[in-house]
């Protein structure tokens, strides 16, 4: 082959006619060069292609700040706003019926864990029957600096807008509401409505019901740690052979609820997420209260207390974390105005004389909140909040 190529070179330099062998060699060389050029053009003309399925992707869920030396995650995509609204709605007004809302609120993920960094929050459920929050400045001071650890939900009369500034944690925190009447099942409906709206936020872990006359008697850090770290819910539940308890029972509730199972207790509850979800799924006991707990039965003092004892007694503390003074034995508790709202009163509530239990251990911190404080008590409460309540 080498000799043929040399002969071909000689013939080209001498301009001699090509022999048959030379023609064959020339043809083969040109053909080979054409094949090589074609292959090169096919490979070089196209842009390089990489299968997208083998490209390393960014993690779907960004690591927590603890995974980085400086607490900064580089190059993560912006979160999907639709997903963010799904797991933690910021727009509370909606057009769902109660039935639709309760169904939506009781959806429980089957998968373990969460596809986002979940920080447990405490949901504060304000039952504002008069449509005002006269003690809001005190609560705003209590919440300040802890915005990632709480949620607020306000049930006010329909058509009433709570008057607060746009930088208040109460701003735009009202939920769709319905009329309520003291002593009727509509109050319990409102409480369930508050629970349901709060359950839409998957980070809400604890749920505490308060009123417009309630105040926090400890700072936020204490309250948050106390509730989030609790192994039990706080629903006062007891039975007494009195007209305020035994005489409110209706025999038409049997056999689902017997007199021995009938309970009474404070309206002001605190629940863990599992029990809160369970309350909204109840279709056995609540209809009995709607039909038979009237008149003068006060479902808000009996339904939750009876239900939790029947279904979740093992994880209930059988006490409330909201202090109320019923020593007058009247239809309403003692009210504290400007004169009564003293540091001595609040200190006595903060540290109980008789210990209670938390996580099966005795403690003198039994109450986190207190009522019933009138609007004119705001000024003395603000004056003592830093020195007495520590916020």
Residues with Cβ within 8 Å of residue 73, at least 6 apart in sequence? 62, 63, 65, 67
Rounded to the nearest angstrom, the gap between the alpha carbon of residue 389 and the centroid of all alpha carbons in its chain is 26
What pLDDT does residue 330 have?
77
- Residue 87, both tokens: 């797991």
Tell me if residue 248 falls in helix, strand or coil: helix
Q: CA-CA distances (angstroms) from residue 389 to 98, 124, 141, 321, 374? A: 38, 18, 11, 16, 18
Q: CA-CA distances (angstroms) from residue 117 to 78, 79, 84, 149, 207? A: 14, 12, 12, 13, 20
Residue identified by tokens 């779907």 is: 60
Residue identified by tokens 């509370």 is: 92
**Which backbone phi and psi does 320 adopt, to 5 degrees?**
-105, 155
Domain boundaries, the chain: 117-389
**Preceding amide of 219 cis, omega within 30:** no
What pLDDT does residue 20 have?
58
List the 322-323 sheet strands across, edge first. 215-216, 369-370, 322-323
Surface-to-core class of residue 106, CB atoms within 10 Å of its CB (0-12 exposed, 13-18 middle, 19+ buried):
middle
What pLDDT does residue 12 have?
45
* In contact, 194 and 125? CB cutoff 8 Å: yes
What pLDDT does residue 61 have?
37
Per-residue three-class SS string for 101-148 = HHHHHCCCCCCCCCCCCCCCEEEEEEECCCCCCCCHHHHHHHHCCCHH
Strand pairing report for 369-370 and 215-216: antiparallel
- Residue 211, both tokens: 């009123």
Task: Chunk the chain into consecutive blocks of 10 residues (it has 391) and report each block's average pLDDT, rounded to whole numbers.
Answer: 48 50 58 58 44 36 41 55 90 96 95 93 97 97 98 97 96 97 94 98 98 98 98 96 91 96 97 98 96 91 98 97 91 94 98 96 98 98 98 97
At the topology level of CATH, where does 117-389 sit? Spore Coat Polysaccharide Biosynthesis Protein SpsA; Chain A (3.90.550)
Using the CB atoms, write b or e for 309-319: b if 16+ within 10 Å: bbbbeeebbbb
What pLDDT does residue 55 have?
33
What pLDDT does residue 35 have?
56
Residues with Cβ within 8 Å of residue 221, at least 6 apart in sequence? 146
First and final C-alpha spacing in the chain? 99
- Residue 42, both tokens: 């096919």
């Amino acid at each position: 082959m080498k000799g043929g190529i040399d002969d071909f070179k000689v013939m080209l330099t001498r301009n001699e006619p090509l022999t048959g062998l030379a023609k064959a060699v020339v043809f083969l060389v040109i053909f080979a060069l054409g094949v090589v050029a074609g292959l090169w053009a096919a490979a070089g003309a196209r842009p390089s292609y990489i299968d997208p399925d083998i490209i390393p992707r960014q993690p779907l869920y960004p690591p927590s700040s603890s995974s980085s030396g400086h607490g900064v995650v580089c190059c993560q995509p912006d979160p999907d706003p639709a997903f963010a609204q799904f797991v933690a709605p910021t727009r509370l007004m909606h057009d769902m019926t109660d039935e639709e809302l309760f169904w939506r609120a009781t959806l429980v993920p089957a998968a373990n864990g969460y596809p986002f960094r979940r920080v447990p929050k405490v949901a504060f459920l304000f039952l504002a029957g008069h449509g005002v929050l006269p003690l809001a400045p005190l609560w705003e001071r209590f919440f300040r600096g802890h915005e990632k650890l709480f949620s607020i939900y306000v049930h006010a009369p329909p058509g009433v807008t709570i008057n607060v500034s746009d930088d208040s944690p109460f701003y735009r925190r009202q939920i769709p509401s319905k009329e309520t009447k003291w002593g009727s099942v509509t109050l319990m409906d409102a409480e369930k409505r508050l629970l349901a709206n709060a359950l839409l936020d998957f980070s809400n872990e604890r749920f505490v019901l308060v009123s417009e006359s309630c105040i926090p008697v400890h700072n936020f850090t204490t309250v948050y740690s106390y509730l989030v770290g609790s192994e039990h819910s706080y629903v006062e539940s007891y039975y007494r052979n009195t007209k305020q308890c035994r005489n409110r029972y209706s025999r038409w509730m049997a056999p689902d609820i017997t007199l021995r199972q009938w309970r009474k207790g404070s309206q002001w509850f605190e629940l863990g997420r599992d029990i809160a979800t369970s309350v909204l799924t109840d279709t056995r006991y609540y209809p009995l209260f709607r039909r038979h707990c009237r008149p003068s039965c006060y479902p808000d003092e009996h339904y939750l207390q009876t239900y939790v004892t029947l279904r979740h007694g093992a994880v209930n503390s059988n006490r409330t974390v909201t202090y109320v003074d019923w020593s007058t034995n009247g239809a309403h508790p003692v009210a504290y105005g400007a004169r009564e709202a003293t540091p001595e009163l609040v200190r006595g509530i903060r540290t109980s004389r008789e210990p209670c239990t938390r996580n099966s251990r005795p403690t003198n911190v039994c109450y986190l909140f207190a009522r019933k404080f009138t609007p004119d008590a705001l000024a003395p409460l603000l004056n003592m909040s830093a020195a007495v309540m520590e916020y």
